[in-house]
Structure 1
Amino acid sequence: MNENKNYQHPDVQDPENDELEIDWMEILRKIIAIRKTLYKAAGVGVVLGIIIALSIPKQYTVTVTLSPEMSGDKAGGGLASLASSFLGGGASSSPDALNATLAPDIVASTPFILELFNTRVQTLDGKLDTTLVAYLDEQKQPWWGYIKAAPSMAIGAFKSLFTEKTDSATTLNPFQLTEKEAAKVKELRQSILAEADKKTAMTTITVTMQDPKVTAIVADSVVAKLQQYIIDYRIKKAKEDCAYLEELYKERQQEYYEAQSKYAHYFDSNRNIALQSVRAEQERLQNDMNLAYQVYSQVAQQLQVARAKIQEEKPVFAVLEPATIPLEPSGTSKRVIFMGIILLTVCCTGAWILLGKEYWKKINFK
């Protein structure tokens, strides 16, 4: 007689099912048994929460949104094209060498950050009116930040005893920064962020600092400097071309005036002389004058086109979201931090008593 191998006695339980079952009542009884310990852990969490929450300084965030309009978007409708059509020339628009999506790289660059050092800032209460680089020294940090920075501060103080003091007003050199300058550049790079949407070319600049008015001032300064940086880059070539044509225009103008003066002087001096040689010389001087005028006229036309192109090359920035002084701090609130630390302390304590001790004993016994 064949026995069914899959048959199992109802009194015999599958060990795998035992592992999947959780006795919630047993866990609840264990938690109730250690409730006094959990109360003490909650008290410790309250103390830690107060200390940590009060130690973290408030942060304020200002966000500015820009929408740049480059000259490449103007399909032949710029001033240079208009001037060229009237003056008989041809103006061709080249692709932008500086794309709007490079704004994050520009804002994060060391030369750009160093230009912000001397920006004048003022706190909301009006007690502090100084430069941005000096304000960075006034910003608070958690107590553990001072502990972390204590070794480097001690080393810096020790080095200062053996080094000569340098003038703080000296020009910053991006090629060789001091440790203090490099630390402030890093701090500003973390506080000032820029993001660019490659599809829409929208640029978002976010500044986070501890004073709301300082944050708004820095955000506005970053936007202004970024706009000026892109404008200077875009019109640099047009300005160089215009300056060259200005010099060329003056030279050709002087040549034309000289040729005109020679012709007029020779014509007045030999008006009543009917010699063929005199007529030949007069015709030659007249041709020189006409040729000088043609060259002078062409350069004048090119100069007008170059002057119009400077204005055309300037990008237009539409500030969709301007910088305003924030009313509320950003980031995680102190209340959430306080409650989170209490919950974390209680959970860690309960997990250690219910699970950690047992596994720790097993590890030690092994």
Structure 2
Amino acid sequence: MEENKQYKEMIHAEDDELVIDWMGILRKIIAIRKTLYKAAGVGLVIGILIALGIPKQYTVSVTLSPEVSGGNSGSSGLASMAASFLGASVGTNSPDALNATLAPDIVASTPFLLELLDARVVSQDQKIDTTLTAYLDEQKSPWWSYIMAAPGMAISGIKSLFDKEEEEASKDSIQSGTIQLNEEDAAKLGGLKKAILAEPDKKSGIITLTVTLQDPKVTATMADTVVSKLQQYIIAYRTRKAKEDCEYLEKLYKERQQEYYDAQRHYAHYVDANSNMVFQSTMAERERLQNDMNLAYQVYSQVAQQLQVARAKVQEEKPVFAVVEPAVVPLYPSGTSKKVIVIGFVFLAVALAGAWQLLGKPYWQQLKEALRKPQE
């Protein structure tokens, strides 16, 4: 019985510790209401400054579904029909080396972004008609970014004395197969990497391209341009090997064709010149030239068939793209609303001021008193 009584007393003690004095907290809040009003005013001013400093941005999303040929579906085309004459397989069962999961890496690659800088864009109000690289220079930035960029601008001004040397080095590096960017172009590419995103769905293979810029018409135009460039890049990648094989067979075809025509011409000239001759040596030479002509024709015919296979393979390797959701000019800006930003800063200022007055300040006073006692 005594143990149960002690246990109940402990429970009541714990319950008493968990009781919150709401009226006491309310009285403390009322006591510091003037401080909270000031904090709300400060938060309101800061929120307005931040909200007005953030430029409007528009987002356009495009859904792209690549239908890549693969498996045995391509084996029933023209390439397999041409290959049947040679008794060889087309070889379309190899796995796809460029799938939807690589789309983000392609879109964020430096060569891809450099090609986008030359794209032509027109603003919604028709006042801007220039290239993307010039448009990026005219985009607005938050006011605090100029303050943060002031030291970098001073350093870049000093480095501008060496611009000529940098340009010459840049030209040499481009010619040698590398890419060297100055600070301005590197900053633009860094901004584009954040503004242009690609999100692939591994299950369905659908690619969602998202472009975020400050003008709705420019955003939609760039979204369409990114889709077109991505299609061209994937098609060029998929058909590169087939085109190289086709170009090689084109060259080989012309060479074998010329060899056959030469052998045919030699045979015809020899027959015309020795049509009345019945010597054994004449007959042997005629037979040799005829065999050379037949052999040249066989090689020429085989190369011609392989060329037809290669031409069909180039067409079969081209992936087909279906644009599920095209680029549409947005009507409203994206991102967080200015009202939400202002309300958020007001709430944050009031919460911080209240936490300091109710919790931080008492503990700070206790800490200062504790530090003074050893000295006394």
State if a TM-score over 0.5 links the two structures. Answer: yes
CA deviations over 1:18-53 (Å, ceiling 9, x no partner): 331101111112222222332222222222221111
Count of residues in correspondence between the two structures:
363
- Aligned counterpart, 2:129: 129
Specify whether residues 260 and 75 from structure 1 end up closer, same or farther in structure 2 by C-alpha distance, changes over 3 A only. closer
Question: Residue 90 of structure 1 aligns with which residue?
Answer: 89
CA distance in 1, matches of 2:241, 2:291: 36
Number of the residue aligned with 2:116: 116
Listed as ranges, the gaps of 5+ residues in structure 2 are: 371-376
> Which residue does the alignment assign to 1:145?
145
Judged with a 3 Å threshold, the aligned counterparts in structure 2 of structure 1 residues 210 and 283 are, in CA distance, closer, same or farther, namely same
- In structure 2, the CA distance between the partners of 1:216 and 1:270, relative to structure 1 (3 Å rule), is same
- Greater shift, 8-17 or 107-116, is seen at 8-17
Displacement of 1:6 in angstroms is 4.2
Question: Contact between 2:62 and 2:208, CA under 8 Å: does it hold in 1?
Answer: yes
Q: Any conservation in 1 of the 2:74–2:316 contact (CA below 8 Å)?
A: no
Give 1:9 shift. 11
Q: CA RMSD in A?
A: 2.4
- Give the whole-Å Cα distance in 1 for the aligned partners of 2:256 and 2:7: 114
Structure 2 distance, partners of 1:196, 1:143, is 35
AA in 1 matched with 2:81: L
TM-superposed CA distance for 1:125, in Å, is: 1.0
- 2:336 is aligned to 332
Question: Structure 2 counterpart of 1:60, which letter?
Answer: Y
Task: Return the match for 1:232 from 232, 236, 247.
Answer: 236
Q: Which moved more, 1:96-105 or 1:224-233?
A: 96-105
Partners of 2:274 and 2:282 within 8 A in 1: yes
Higher mean Cα deviation, 100-109 or 267-276? Answer: 267-276
CA contact (8 A) 2:85 2:305 kept: no
* Cα displacement (A) at 1:116: 1.2
Secondary structure, aligned partner of 1:7: helix
Distance 1:5 1:88, change over 3 A: closer
The two structures have a TM-score, normalised by structure 1, of: 0.92
How far residue 90 of structure 1 moved from its aligned partner, in angstroms, is 2.9
Residue identity matched to 1:195? E
Give the direction of change, closer, same or farther, for the CA distance of 1:18–1:52 in structure 2 (3 Å limit): same
Work out whether 1:67 is the aligned partner of 2:65: yes
- Quick one: which amino acid aligns to residue 127 of structure 1? K
Aligned twin of 2:347: 343
* CA distance in structure 2 between the partners assigned to 1:13 and 1:83 by the alignment: 89
Q: Which residue of structure 1 aligns with residue 100 of structure 2?
A: 100
Q: How does 1:9-28 map to 2 (within 5 A)?
A: 14-28=12-26
User: What displacement does 1:11 show?
Assistant: 9.5
Structure 1, unmatched stretches of 5+, are: none
* Equivalent position to 1:42, from 40, 43, 49: 40
SS of aligned partner of 2:76? coil
Contact 2:117 2:132 in 1 (8 A): yes
Counterpart-to-counterpart distance in 1, 2:49 and 2:265: 90
Matches of 1:91 and 1:195, distance apart in 2: 33
1:140-179 deviation per Cα after TM superposition (whole angstroms, max 9, x unaligned):
12111111111111111232256549779x8794532222
Deviation at 1:302, TM superposition (A): 0.6
Separation in structure 1 between the aligned mates of residue 274 and residue 45 of structure 2, nearest angstrom: 110
Deviation, structure 1 residue 325: 1.0
Q: Contact (CA 8 Å) 1:83, 1:304: kept in 2 or not?
A: yes
Moved more, 73-82 or 290-299: 73-82
Matched, 1:202 2:202: no
TM-score by length of 2: 0.89
Distance in 1 between residues matched to 2:7 and 2:59, nearest whole Å: 68
- For the pair 1:190 / 2:194, whether they are aligned, the reply is yes
Structure 1, 114-123 or 28-37: larger mean CA deviation? 28-37
1:361 equivalenced with 2:365 (yes/no): yes
Moved more, 33-42 or 120-129: 33-42
Counterpart-to-counterpart distance in 1, 2:9 and 2:217: 75
Query: What is the aligned-residue identity percentage?
Result: 67
Structure 1 runs, 4 residues or longer, greater than 6 Å off: 9-13, 165-168
Q: CA deviation at 1:89?
A: 4.5
Q: Is the 8 A contact 2:101 2:201 kept in 1?
A: yes
Q: Could you say which residue in structure 1 is the equivalent of 2:373?
A: none
Query: What corresponds to 2:374 in structure 1?
Result: none
Q: Deviations over 1:66-99 (max 9, x none)?
A: 1111122535233322332366543111222222
Cα separation, 1, equivalents of 2:253 and 2:163: 56
Q: Counterparts in 2 of 1:156-195, with a 5 A limit?
A: 156-161=156-161, 163-164=163-164, 173=174, 175-195=179-199
More helix by share: 2
Matching residue within 296, 299, 319 for 1:295:
299
The AA in structure 2 aligned to 1:21 is: V
**In structure 2, what is the equivalent of residue 311 of structure 1?**
315
Deviation digits for residues 327-363 of structure 1, max 9, x if unmatched?
A: 1111111111111111111222222112221111122
Q: Which residue of 2 aligns with 1:79?
A: 78
Opposite residue 308 of structure 1, the aligned amino acid is A
Q: Distance in 2 between matches of 1:49 and 1:100?
A: 41
Structure 1 residues 235 and 15, CA gap change in structure 2 (3 angstroms): same
Partner of 1:64: helix, strand, or coil?
A: strand
Amino acid at match of 2:106: I
CA distance in structure 2 between the aligned counterparts of 1:135 and 1:226, rounded to whole angstroms: 21
